[in-house]
Amino acid sequence: MEFSDMITIAAILLSPLIAVQVTRLIDKKREVTNRQMDLFRVLMGQRGLTPRTDEYVIALNQIDAVFHDVPKIREAYTDLYKATSPNSPEISDSGKYLIVLLREMSKHLRFGNIDDLDIDRYYTPQSRSDGQKLVNEYYTEFLRVLKSSERF
């Protein structure tokens, strides 16, 4: 048996193993990208909603894990976290930190044509704003009545 025959036999035996490993590597990369994309979609889709939904808060809490190997995104998230803490002097400007975070995420995910103005623009129907205002008024009045009552 010649050397070229041994190489041919080795290639025939190893090809399926190499193909499986390459496929697994591609699938793992695709899974990571899909998780990052899902998180980005939640944050982009809910960026104008107030109050924030649980899904939005959960997405923010997953950033450190999902983007663990992307320092710019983790830094932008840290800045947003600090700006939204209750005693932060920057809490009124926290929206700009969200824009920075989403911009970094869009760069990482290769959405090259999304800029800050695109991120800062969102749709909120008037009926949602009116409904939220009504709910806030209801709870404010309900709380006022409860606090004014000695006995229930």
Contact between 39 and 63 under an 8 Å Cβ cutoff? The reply is: yes
- If you average pLDDT over every residue of the chain, what do you get? 86
Tens-digit pLDDT profile for residues 98-128? 999 999 999 999 987 787 777 777 767 777 6
* C-alpha to C-alpha distances, 45 to 7, 38, 143, nearest whole angstrom: 54, 10, 32
Task: Tell if the pTM clears 0.85, that is, is over it.
Answer: no
Question: What is the model's pLDDT at position 149?
Answer: 78
Tens-digit pLDDT profile for residues 76-99? 999 999 888 888 777 777 788 999
* C-alpha to C-alpha distances, 94 to 29, 58, 121, 136, 144, nearest whole angstrom: 32, 18, 15, 22, 30
